[in-house]
Structure 1
Amino acid sequence: MSGTELSQTRAWVLAARPQTLPAAAAPVVVGAGLAWHAGVFAPLPMLAAFVGAALIQIGTNFANDYYDAIQGADTEAREGFTRVTQSGLIEPQSVKRAMYLTFAAAIGVGSYLVYVGGLPILVIGLLSVVSGIAYTGGPYPLGYHGLGDLFVFLFFGVIAVVGTYYVQATAVLADPLSTTIPPNTVTWTAFLASLPVAALSTNILVVNNIRDREEDATTGKRTLAVRFGYRFSRLQFAGLGGLAYAVPVWLWLAEGFAATVLLPLVTLPIAAVLTRTVWTETSGAALNPALETTGKLLAAYSGLFGLGLAL
């Protein structure tokens, strides 16, 4: 392989940002654990849910790389990880084409899930793809108007976990191609279990927005950190972390789950160190490692949570 080919391969890996894939895997792990607990675990729909979620994550990463560059949100002052469009490593149109191809692949995988889960999954899948593009693209980019946090909380948390549980429960309890939501396939417990994943996934974005606050303010990207300042975002980070660790306790005390559901609490020391870093730092040198660690925390928490739910 030539040096140019190696450079291009590395550039595409950078654009896909595989370090963000825990945000795609986490809701599937939790949804699978809950499905096992409820006796509706279905491996093929679960696997398809993961592949679809990963493709939507990667497609969203391509979209962010492309649209942030062409809209001027990525500048030389950026302290985050390398963006291939802004840095000239890959032609903008190639990144845009990769974005559409990845979303098309997600829709292809989703066609099986639509067969299993029916019309509700078709609606959720199309909304997920459109929102992935609209996060930084389109006439009203969500991430540029302080709506990125809500997008992540809903689509990479609540909808992803509940949707993973739903396709498994529907495969076991209902006929294919349903036009309505079958009984016992969307549950209060699934919603509760989605909240920690939603909270910790959003905290990845919160760290990113704190790190980029000064640059975003100069380029017109009105994240919540830009709108309301460092203190608000730090309180947001702490509050979302608190929500994540309160849910297992609630499931144990109020919902009748076994004490194994408390397994994620062993990651509390990591969360405490991260909170201290986020509360005191603003530089990329400090927050880039914190960003990676928040992703690892999400993966560890979700693995333990899924296991605790299943047991």
Structure 2
Amino acid sequence: MKSSLAIWLDAARPKTLLLAIAAIATGSSLAYADHHFSLAISLLALLTATLLQILSNLANDYGDAVQGTDNENRIGPIRGMQQGMITQAGMKKAITLNIVFIVISGLALVFYALQSPTSIMAFIFLGLLSIISSIAYTMGSKPYGYIGLGDISVFIFFGLLAILGTYFLHTGTVKTDLLLPAIGSGLFSMGVLNINNMRDVENDTVSNKRTLVVRIGIEKAKCYHLGLLAFGWLTMAIYLVMHTQPIWLNVFMLLPLLLIFKHGKTIWNIQQAKQFVPMLPDMVKCAFITNIVFSIVMVLGQ
């Protein structure tokens, strides 16, 4: 019998939290490379991003359980509400408490990092939008994750907003070419969601959860996944070539490429949905290591 703490740790899905660390590390390294860096901002941003990731995970657990998608036919890890170890009321309280923590952390970050009232209000709005997006993915009468819009949301919030927002909090500005690493980070996060959806495609189809994978089919989803991997790595590598000296430092970006290639080859050869189960943490590892190696090269190449 699992302890209460273990049950809630499982619900938070700690392996996915590496995505938050990766995004904040990338955004902060870009700021450092431009001679603007604050450890306090980085830590507050990391705390806020991690809490948002946990909120998304808890809300997903609740929404899929209520919708009936988390049932005995689901292949992935059995979740807390699905097992009956967490009640609806208990999960609602956890979600509410998590939102309170996000608001406290987010406001501390915004007021510490920014001086302009306009910038402060803009980030408060973006923070509220992030909270709403995390909840509305599977919760409510019309969850957008059930109509195939999850990929777009992940790209925006775990890619563009996470990277560009972190950079802006450090520097007070943003540059067009930062879109390259922001896009790359977003594509890798989309890859994590895509693995999840390929794993659950059979049950999602029956449950009328119209994810992108359900809409396009598993074979096209594999091609889509390989595209996410290739363009994700390429956009980040191109940015490094443009901005780091000496140029030989970019050789280190070949390290995550080896992992990505191995991961992609495995995905391409999968024949049964249950084989995607170990690929989710594998994809998280690919995303995390690529972002961390990118960040290290950015810092060393200045």
The TM-score with structure 1 as length reference comes to 0.90
2: CA distance between counterparts of 1:121 and 1:145? 28
Cα drift, residue 261 of structure 1 = 4.4
Cα drift, residue 55 of structure 1 = 0.3
Instruction: Give 1:109's aligned residue.
Output: 105
2: CA distance between counterparts of 1:257 and 1:251? 8
Cα drift, residue 268 of structure 1 = 1.4
Q: Is the 8 A contact 1:262 1:305 kept in 2?
A: no
Instruction: Give 1:140's aligned residue.
Output: 142
Decide which of 49, 56, 59 is 2:52's aligned counterpart. Answer: 56
Instruction: Give 2:203's aligned residue.
Output: 215
Cα drift, residue 87 of structure 1 = 1.1
SS of the aligned residue for 1:35 comes to: helix
Q: Is the 8 A contact 2:164 2:174 kept in 1?
A: yes
What is the identity, as a one-letter code, of the residue corresponding to 2:269? Answer: T
Q: Is the 8 A contact 2:28 2:37 kept in 1?
A: yes
SS of the aligned residue for 2:106 comes to: helix
Decide which of 272, 276, 285 is 1:296's aligned counterpart. Answer: 285
Cα drift, residue 271 of structure 1 = 1.0
Cα drift, residue 138 of structure 1 = 2.1
Cα drift, residue 78 of structure 1 = 0.9
- Which residues of 2 match residues 141-220 of structure 1 at below 5 A? 141-170=143-172, 185-220=173-208
Cα drift, residue 157 of structure 1 = 1.1
Q: Is the 8 A contact 1:85 1:91 kept in 2?
A: yes
The TM-score with structure 2 as length reference comes to 0.92
2: CA distance between counterparts of 1:138 and 1:107? 21
What is the identity, as a one-letter code, of the residue corresponding to 1:303? Answer: I
**Deviation per residue, 1:206-245 (Å, 9 max, x gap):** 1111111010000010001101101221111111111122
- Determine what percentage of the aligned residue pairs are the same residue: 34
**Deviation per residue, 1:115-168 (Å, 9 max, x gap):** 133122111111100000011112321211101111111101110011111111
What is the identity, as a one-letter code, of the residue corresponding to 2:253? Answer: P
SS of the aligned residue for 1:296 comes to: helix
Are positions 1:257 and 2:257 aligned together?
Answer: no
2: CA distance between counterparts of 1:212 and 1:282? 14
Decide which of 223, 226, 231 is 1:235's aligned counterpart. Answer: 223
What is the identity, as a one-letter code, of the residue corresponding to 2:190? Answer: T
Q: 1:163 to 1:29 in 2, by over 3 A?
A: same
Cα drift, residue 113 of structure 1 = 2.3
Decide which of 250, 269, 272 is 1:280's aligned counterpart. Answer: 269
CA RMSD in angstroms comes to 1.5
What is the identity, as a one-letter code, of the residue corresponding to 1:246? Answer: L
Cα drift, residue 285 of structure 1 = 4.3
What is the identity, as a one-letter code, of the residue corresponding to 1:119? Answer: M
Q: For structure 1, which segment, 109-118 or 57-66, has the greater mean C-alpha deviation from structure 2 after superposition?
A: 109-118
Structure 1: runs of 5 or more not aligned: 171-184
Q: 1:282 to 1:14 in 2, by over 3 A?
A: farther
2: CA distance between counterparts of 1:125 and 1:33? 22
What is the identity, as a one-letter code, of the residue corresponding to 1:114? Answer: V
Q: Is the 8 A contact 1:14 1:82 kept in 2?
A: no
1: CA distance between counterparts of 2:250 and 2:102? 32
Q: 1:165 to 1:62 in 2, by over 3 A?
A: same
**Deviation per residue, 1:40-90 (Å, 9 max, x gap):** 111111111100000010011110001100111111011111211011011
1: CA distance between counterparts of 2:103 and 2:48? 8
Q: 1:21 to 1:99 in 2, by over 3 A?
A: same
Instruction: Give 1:181's aligned residue.
Output: none
Show structure 1 runs of 4+ deviating over 6 A: none
What is the identity, as a one-letter code, of the residue corresponding to 2:162? Answer: A
2: CA distance between counterparts of 1:256 and 1:295? 26
2: CA distance between counterparts of 1:262 and 1:123? 40
Q: 1:221 to 1:168 in 2, by over 3 A?
A: same
Instruction: Give 1:177's aligned residue.
Output: none
Are positions 1:269 and 2:258 aligned together?
Answer: yes
SS of the aligned residue for 1:21 comes to: helix
Instruction: Give 2:76's aligned residue.
Output: 80
Q: Is the 8 A contact 1:210 1:282 kept in 2?
A: no
**Deviation per residue, 1:249-272 (Å, 9 max, x gap):** 32245x343333453321112111
